[in-house]
Amino acid sequence: MGKKPFVRSREPVMAALIICTALSSGVSALVKKDDIESSLNVIQEVSAQSLGSLCVTEQFRSLTVPIDTLRFESARQKADLAATLLQDLGVAHHNGLQDAISKNILVSDPAVLAARVLAINATNGQLINCAWWQKQGLEMGGPKKVPETVMEAGRRPSADYPWYEDADSSPGLRSPKFIESPPNVSYRGWWTYPYYSCSARRWLMSYSVPIPPPGRRGLKGFLSLDVDISHLQVDQCESGPLTPTNALSIFHGSHKCHNLTTESAAQVPSWSRGRYECRCRDGYFSTHHGGVFNGTLVEVAWEEHVENSSDTWETIFQCQACAPGCHFCTDPSPCLATFHWPFRITLLSISIFCVFCTLVLNCFMFKHRKLKVFKVASPIFLSITLLGCAFMYLEMGAIFPVLDTYFCIATKWTRHLGFCVTYTALLMKTWRVSLTYRVKSAHKVKLTDKQLLQWMVPILLIMLIYLGTWTLSDTPTAEEIMDNKGLRFKQCVYNWWDHSLAIGEVLFLAWGIRVCYNVRNAESLYNEARLISYAIYNIAIVNILMIAFHLFIFPRAGPDIKYFLGFVRTQLSTTTTIALVFGPKIIRVLSGQGDQWDNRARSRGVTASFSLNGIGLVPEDTPDLFQENEELKEEIQKLAAQIEFMKIVHMEINNRHVKPKAGGYFTTLNTPLAVQSPLAKQLGGKPGEEL
């Protein structure tokens, strides 16, 4: 930091003999608020022309806060250079040199308004000569020498001058007229505090440099210059990127806006107080003055607030917080859509109850897995179907609260993974029926649960990889949307990940519908194939209808309506699937018929070989004798029918004179000759139908 200690002398000395402590140019942070307030009061008096004693009994008034003087570094360096030159050449005997320095070196600087060089007798303190030059307009012909009555009288300058202070008039080692120097900088002279000059009608700062005598005795000189600072701005707002370069940083943050609810905005700053506006911050509003308050009025209200004479500053010039979620507002109207939590909790409770029911149903099925009604339906696939249904129910829990990133991730996973698990399990069972139903050979096709699982696992693995990649690379987030009332709420973002997956699911669903259409006439025990087809049709129809509702009927529905639509979709697709697939089975078990064959299906020609097709039979199961007997009977019947058919054909070939009899093995139709199998007649087949 460094200091410049000077010993006080009895002789009249200039400010050069006064101590100056070097501090940082950013001294504004250490300036007391009282000094800033008192300086603002002086600025207000000058700008309002309410000068009082100023310009009547006193010709200047100084501020009590320093400003940055680095912007006037060029003028200071010229003053130091001129002082060094005068010290080497002498002051008293070179009056012409004083005039030349004042006029050509100092006043020629654009920032300098006036300059003076004084020569004072060191013994008696009398003024020997003086060169005082003041800058005029260009029309006046440049700098002009100004006579001073005090100087002409031969007396030394009065201590009332802002740029002069001698030891006799200064009670301390440092005059209050001068500010402290920047850190680590050694100045020959000192800058005064900013002051208003009544003679110049401007705001000035003066730089004073003492000129010591060449020897111990002799004359002492003094050089000073005045810098015009009226072009600077008193900006009371916070500093920022838009702050003008000529703004006085010492006054930054001295506004009286309520910092929590309002922010200040400069309004053509100048040497005046209150040249700003207080505006409501984002998320706040005011019913007074449109939320924009004049800084002068705010300053007055602040003074009254400090004096406890009025509460205007707190009631009028403070903004109120907007409703929750509002970024901008002009009144207390809500900006967020209201969540009817009792209604949502009711729907969520029903969904959670459904999840519990799926777990109970899974346990019930596992307990009765040996019964034929569950055995022929593949208990493993029934359990997978219930697991997928539980996932789809859990989606209602994921979209229940105010959505954020984590709940959006849970929404995507429960919705798509649940659909994939449920739909794939049902489709694998239907596809097995389709392959069995469409076989035309006597050879029996067997597809075990293990084989179907080998087809199902890759499908689920693809879905898991897709969802995992989606979550890690482009994590689903929530975005704000508006309902039809302009109220905002959060909804998970829909992007090309959703659209791509939706296209894949639609294609997968279309293939499932085709499989179900192929087995529309297939007969199976307990009518399971047809019920599964109905469940798949239902899933497709419900999802298509819900998409239409969201896009066309309720495109800007509120959060509760969207939640209700999600609940309806879940119930119509998931609950209906459970009811179709598991309802008849549970009824048979509860009525005591769970271990009995479906006699109506058997009467329609549905055999154990076709119905079971390896379903539900695992290697460790005990063989079913009834099933084996039925399969043997089928094979024997087919073999006997083929033998009988060949016998009749050979008889016709070897005995062409034999004519077919009506109702016999040979029947005359519109075609030349058609052969009717005895087995076909026995089974009720049409004439002319081959086996």
Question: Judging by DSSP bridges, how do beta strands 195-197 and 190-191 pair with one another?
Answer: unpaired
More confident residue, 488 or 120: 488
Kindly tell me the number of DSSP H helices and DSSP E strands found in the chain: 19, 19
Give the span between the Cα atoms of 334 and 246, in whole angstroms: 43
Please indicate, yes or no, whether residues 529 and 380 belong to a single structural domain of this protein. yes
Q: Which of 143, 115, 113 is nearest to 130 (CA)?
A: 115
Please indicate, yes or no, whether residues 507 and 654 belong to a single structural domain of this protein. no
| Residue 332, in any domain of the structure | no
pLDDT at 360 over 90: yes
Give the span between the Cα atoms of 123 and 92, in whole angstroms: 14
Q: Which of 287, 267, 312, 269 is nearest to 278 (CA)?
A: 267
| Residue 238, in any domain of the structure | no
Cα dihedral 158→159→160→162 (10° resolution): 110
- pLDDT band of residue 31 (cuts 50, 70, 90) is low
**Residue pointed to by tokens 């440092």:** 174
More confident residue, 668 or 133: 133
Residue 239 is predicted with a pLDDT of 84
Query: Where are the strands (E) in 229-367, listed by range?
Result: 262-266, 276-280, 284-285, 292-294, 320-321
* Average pLDDT of the segment spanning 235-258: 86
pLDDT at 63 over 70: yes
Instruction: Find the length of the chain.
Output: 691
Provide the 10 A C-beta neighbour count for residue 81: 15
* Average pLDDT of the segment spanning 438-454: 68
Provide the 10 A C-beta neighbour count for residue 524: 25
**Average pLDDT of the chain, as a whole number:** 78
Give the span between the Cα atoms of 70 and 61, in whole angstroms: 23
Please indicate, yes or no, whether residues 638 and 578 belong to a single structural domain of this protein. no
Which positions ≥6 away from 563 have C-beta within 8 Å?
344, 347, 396, 399, 400
**Residue pointed to by tokens 């009282």:** 34
Question: Where among 550, 579, 612 does a domain terminate?
Answer: 612
pLDDT at 336 over 70: yes
- Convert the pLDDT of each residue in 627-653 to its tens digit: 667 667 777 877 888 888 887 777 777
Residue 346 is predicted with a pLDDT of 95
| Residue 221, in any domain of the structure | yes
| Residue 244, in any domain of the structure | no
* Average pLDDT of the segment spanning 283-296: 90
Question: Three-class SS string for 432-497?
Answer: HHHHHHHCCCCCCCCCCHHHHHHHHHHHHHHHHHHHHHHHHHCCCCEEEEECCCCCEEEEECCCHH
**Residue pointed to by tokens 């806060």:** 65
Give the three-state DSSP class for 675. Answer: strand
pLDDT at 676 over 60: no
Side chain identity at 627, as an amino acid letter? Q
| Token code pair at residue 484 | 């039809």
Please indicate, yes or no, whether residues 280 and 206 belong to a single structural domain of this protein. no
Please name the helix (run of DSSP H) or strand (run of DSSP E) that holds residue 191, with its range, or none. strand 190-191
- Convert the pLDDT of each residue in 192-232 to its tens digit: 999 998 888 889 999 988 887 766 555 678 888 999 998 88
Give the three-state DSSP class for 52. Answer: coil
- pLDDT band of residue 609 (cuts 50, 70, 90) is very low
Question: Judging by DSSP bridges, how do beta strands 195-197 and 60-62 pair with one another?
Answer: antiparallel
| Residue 617, in any domain of the structure | no
Please indicate, yes or no, whether residues 541 and 566 belong to a single structural domain of this protein. yes
* Average pLDDT of the segment spanning 652-659: 66
Residue 599 is predicted with a pLDDT of 57
Give the span between the Cα atoms of 542 and 30, in whole angstroms: 72
More confident residue, 120 or 603: 120
Residue 661 is predicted with a pLDDT of 56
- Which residues on neighbouring strands pair with residue 277, listed in sequence order? 265, 294
Q: Which of 302, 249, 353 is nearest to 24 (CA)?
A: 249
Provide the 10 A C-beta neighbour count for residue 471: 15
* Average pLDDT of the segment spanning 356-361: 94
Lowest mean pLDDT of 56-70, 72-86, 445-459, 513-527, name the range. 513-527
| Residue 687, in any domain of the structure | no
- Convert the pLDDT of each residue in 261-282 to its tens digit: 999 988 877 888 888 999 999 8
Question: Where among 612, 646, 670 does a domain terminate?
Answer: 612
| Token code pair at residue 48 | 């309002």
Please indicate, yes or no, whether residues 7 and 75 belong to a single structural domain of this protein. yes
Say how many domains are in the chain.
Answer: 4
Lowest mean pLDDT of 356-370, 427-441, 621-635, name the range. 621-635
Residue 3 is predicted with a pLDDT of 33
* Average pLDDT of the segment spanning 167-195: 74
| Residue 335, in any domain of the structure | no
Cβ atoms of 21 and 180 closer than 8 Å? yes
Give the three-state DSSP class for 228. Answer: strand
**Residue pointed to by tokens 């950013």:** 26
Please indicate, yes or no, whether residues 203 and 132 belong to a single structural domain of this protein. yes
Please indicate, yes or no, whether residues 553 and 582 belong to a single structural domain of this protein. yes
Give the span between the Cα atoms of 212 and 382, in whole angstroms: 108
* Average pLDDT of the segment spanning 672-678: 44
* Average pLDDT of the segment spanning 27-52: 79
* Average pLDDT of the segment spanning 510-524: 79
Give the span between the Cα atoms of 330 and 290, in whole angstroms: 8
Cβ atoms of 62 and 177 closer than 8 Å? yes
pTM of the entire structure? 0.59
Cβ atoms of 520 and 514 closer than 8 Å? no
Residue 691 is predicted with a pLDDT of 33
Residue 618 is predicted with a pLDDT of 39
Residue 387 is predicted with a pLDDT of 93
* Structural domain that includes position 112: 3-228
Give the span between the Cα atoms of 440 and 241, in whole angstroms: 84
Side chain identity at 145, as an amino acid letter? K
- The CATH number given to whatever domain includes residue 79 is 3.30.450.20
Cβ atoms of 509 and 539 closer than 8 Å? yes
- The CATH number given to whatever domain includes residue 538 is 1.20.1070.10
- Convert the pLDDT of each residue in 45-54 to its tens digit: 888 887 778 8
Question: Where among 560, 586, 612 does a domain terminate?
Answer: 612
Give the span between the Cα atoms of 604 and 524, in whole angstroms: 10
Cβ atoms of 112 and 225 closer than 8 Å? yes
Q: Which of 83, 43, 90 is nearest to 62 (CA)?
A: 43
Residue 396 is predicted with a pLDDT of 93
Longest dimension (CA), the chain: 171
- Convert the pLDDT of each residue in 546-595 to its tens digit: 888 877 888 888 899 999 999 999 999 899 999 988 888 888 888 887 77
Give the span between the Cα atoms of 179 and 174, in whole angstroms: 9
Please indicate, yes or no, whether residues 476 and 576 belong to a single structural domain of this protein. yes
Please indicate, yes or no, whether residues 544 and 437 belong to a single structural domain of this protein. yes
- Which residues on neighbouring strands pair with residue 276, listed in sequence order? 266
Please indicate, yes or no, whether residues 594 and 490 belong to a single structural domain of this protein. yes
Give the span between the Cα atoms of 205 and 177, in whole angstroms: 10
- Convert the pLDDT of each residue in 343-352 to its tens digit: 999 999 999 9
Q: Which of 11-15, 265-269, 286-290, 661-665 has the highest mean pLDDT?
A: 286-290
Cβ atoms of 120 and 16 closer than 8 Å? no
Cβ atoms of 490 and 403 closer than 8 Å? yes
- pLDDT band of residue 663 (cuts 50, 70, 90) is low
| Residue 240, in any domain of the structure | no
Please indicate, yes or no, whether residues 546 and 435 belong to a single structural domain of this protein. yes
Residue 471 is predicted with a pLDDT of 93
Give the span between the Cα atoms of 365 and 506, in whole angstroms: 31
